[in-house]
Amino acid sequence: MSKVLGILTGGGDVPGLNPAMKAVVVSALDNGYKIYGIRRGWGGLLNYDLDDPESFSNVYELTRDDVRKIDRTGGTFLHTSRTNPQKVKTNVIPEFLKDSPQGIKVDADTMDYTPHILQILNHLGIDTLITIGGDDTLSYSVRLHNEGIRVVAIPKTMDNDVFGTDYCIGFSTSITRSIEVIMNMRTSLGSHERIGVVELFGRNSGETSLIAGYLSSADRSVIPEVHFNIDKLSEFMLRDKKDNPSHYSVMTISEGAIMEGADVIETGEMDAYGHRKLGGIGMIVAEAIKRRTGSNIMYQQVGYMMRSGAPDSLDRMVSSSFGNLAAQLVARNDTGRMVALHGGKYTTVPVSMVLAGKKVVDVPAFYDIENYRPKIKDFLGVPMFLN
């Protein structure tokens, strides 16, 4: 074992990535490792051309000075992408790889360039990867683990939906940002006596809508796990407005929420993991409620502001702890693992766990299907984040 690590972040950025990477780098250097930062996620390796020195900047050795101040800000100093090397569409194949024998044809429009990724890792002498991402990014970590690469994964996603862990980096800050928007929005809603619709990120899991709505005392919270009836929801929101002495009401809705008899709202082309861009269901719901109730509406799509800025104290603590634990696993030669939180304690699970299922809201335990709002049936023994 050469004691050379690579580290990367993939998928959407979240607050907490930089503290996690700082913890990994400092701990790894203390243990005598050399560590390379891989820029733009899996894209940094896919676009690494052995015949083009300009592409070598995609991977560079990290020092203490490189990470000294990165934990003071959000985002990822290594940048990110949604590249999936085992599913590269023909229209985005790097020019130097188009005629390469290292491409494996998946179908008419898709190529698998895992042999190229393995060649670059071997060329750089990287025998261990620490990967930080959601289930999409980490699914390729599983592929490399199966190919013999030593991998330790760190789960991040503002939706908190990576399977195998109670908590993912970025979730607490996204809830904090969402609550701030909802609570601040109440002043305008009350002043104008309107119905407010706040759309939050959340593709398959409604945990952000559920928790943000619960903690901000929103009147209703719509989640992807329960298809909603727009007539019923409109009646609720109008009644909530009339029952409020300040004469307004406010609801949260996940971007992946689905109206009865309709499909999820998606736009644009699929990314490398088969996802199209979500968003817009909140606007559709707002206009539908206005037509049905005659009430003026305020619609706010929180969007990327949920994942912007520096991490809150909880995300800073968890990300730093995850980073240190990941580096310790490498030092113990305990790879093929994902760091995790279970029952409030740090632990690890097989990295393949990310493919074992989908993490969604436990509807019977935490949600009132009939009234579209959080309802915790019994708090005794419930996880802190209601997951």
What string of DSSP letters covers 16-74? Answer: THHHHHHHHHHHHHHTT-EEEEETTTHHHHHT--TT-GGGGGGEEE--HHHHTTGGGSS
pLDDT digits (tens, 9 = 90+) for 114-140: 999 999 999 999 999 999 999 989 999
3-state secondary structure of 169: strand
Strands (E) located in 180-307:
195-200, 220-222, 249-254, 266-267, 277-278, 297-301
Q: Which of 112, 159, 161, 219 is catalytic?
A: 159
* CB proximity list for 41: less than 8 A, separation 6 or greater: 8, 9, 10, 11, 79, 80, 81, 82, 83, 133, 137
For 172-308+362-374, CATH number out of 3.30.300.250, 3.30.9.30, 3.40.50.460, 3.30.70.1290 equals: 3.40.50.460
Strand partners, 266: 278
pLDDT for 265 equals 62
pLDDT for 273 equals 46
Backbone phi, psi, residue 272, to 5°: -70, -10
CB atoms within 10 A of CB 369: 13
- Joined together, the tokens standing for residue 189 give 């809603």
Q: Where are the domains of the chain?
A: 4-169+311-355, 172-308+362-374
Residue 338 has pLDDT above 50, yes or no: yes
- Asked whether the domain spanning 172-308+362-374 has the same topology as the one spanning 4-169+311-355, the reply is yes
Average pLDDT, the chain: 94
Backbone phi, psi, residue 7, to 5°: -135, 140
pLDDT for 242 equals 98
Nearest-angstrom CA–CA distance, 152 and 162: 15
3-state secondary structure of 15: coil
Burial class (CB in 10 A: 0-12, 13-18, 19+), 180: middle
Residue 113 has pLDDT above 70, yes or no: yes
How much is the pTM? 0.93
pLDDT digits (tens, 9 = 90+) for 45-80: 999 999 999 999 999 999 999 999 999 999 999 999
3-state secondary structure of 345: strand
Residue 159 is among the residues annotated as catalytic for this protein: yes
The CATH-assigned architecture of domain 4-169+311-355 is 3-Layer(aba) Sandwich (3.40)
- Joined together, the tokens standing for residue 76 give 């990822």
pLDDT for 382 equals 86
